[in-house]
Amino acid sequence: MKIFVVTAFPGLLSGPLAESIIRLAQESGIVQIELVDLRDFTTDKHRQVDDYPYGGGPGMILKPEPFFRAVEAIEKKGKLVNPRVLQMTPQGKRFNQGLAKEFSRLDNLIFLCGHYKGVDERVLEHLVTDELSIGDYVLTGGELAAAVIIDAVVRLLPGAIGDVDSALSDSFENNRLDCPHYTRPEEYRGMKVPEVLLSGHHARIEEWRLNKALEKTKAVRADLLNNE
């Protein structure tokens, strides 16, 4: 998979993408992630990416031209035909595990990050295929939202996580949350690991895990159980 992120603030993304599983996925060639600096697609000497809103009012708007030029350059360089162009916006469809799976099956993704008051609406109308939100709150920019989505997608790529069963038993798989987990020590400050997990009895352990997962899901996310 090849991922491009168009942003006026690449530094906001370089840290999160350079650690742990996402770093290893890049190093082993499972994914290539390219940060594309929006300012490289300006034509003025100040490399200005924003401007005042027509009609007045507070906040600056990211200009349309650098976004169109950046996406056209990416399409040309990567020989991409009709790639998915994902606009990060609080007004978008709420990102979830189902979308993470859908995106993980694609060869290319282009992320567009807004900033300030937002992005010129013509970008959304004519360039973007999907408007995505990571939740009902407002961030200063789309960079952290893009990092969240990239993380959720890349960990699903074959080979990204050593133990694929681990991802398949995580929350939101099978319409429920994950079960509780414990590791050594067996007892810590009087708090003991549940007996059944030490029993070595696989069927009983599986049954306990399923019951605990269902218990937690019923208590905090009962809506998931009806998502058959």
Q: Which residues here bind ligand SAM, judged by CB under 6 A?
A: 88-91, 113-115, 117-119, 133-135, 137-142, 145
One-character DSSP codes across 184-214? S-SEETTEEPPGGGGS--HHHHHHHHHHHHH
- Looking at beta carbons only, is 12 or 74 nearer to ligand SAM? 12
Among 110, 102, 92, which residue's Cα sits nearest to residue 3?
110
Q: Supply the minimum distance, in Å, between the C-beta of residue 110 and ligand SAM.
A: 14
- Looking at beta carbons only, is 41 or 208 nearer to ligand SAM? 41
Q: Supply the minimum distance, in Å, between the C-beta of residue 181 and ligand SAM.
A: 29
- Looking at beta carbons only, is 83 or 118 nearer to ligand SAM? 118
Q: Supply the minimum distance, in Å, between the C-beta of residue 92 and ligand SAM.
A: 6
- Give the number of C-alpha atoms closer than 13 A to the C-alpha of residue 156, restricted to the C-beta side: 19
- Looking at beta carbons only, is 87 or 104 nearer to ligand SAM? 87
Tally Cβ neighbours within 10 Å of residue 215: 14
Tally Cβ neighbours within 10 Å of residue 25: 22
| Closest residue to bound ligand SAM by CB | 114
Check residue 77 and report its DSSP letter. H
Burial state string for 108-118 with b = 16 or more CB within 10 A and e = fewer than 16: bbbbbbbbbeb
Residues 131/92, Cβ–Cβ less than 8 Å: yes
Q: Supply the minimum distance, in Å, between the C-beta of residue 103 and ligand SAM.
A: 15
- Looking at beta carbons only, is 115 or 176 nearer to ligand SAM? 115
Q: Supply the minimum distance, in Å, between the C-beta of residue 44 and ligand SAM.
A: 22
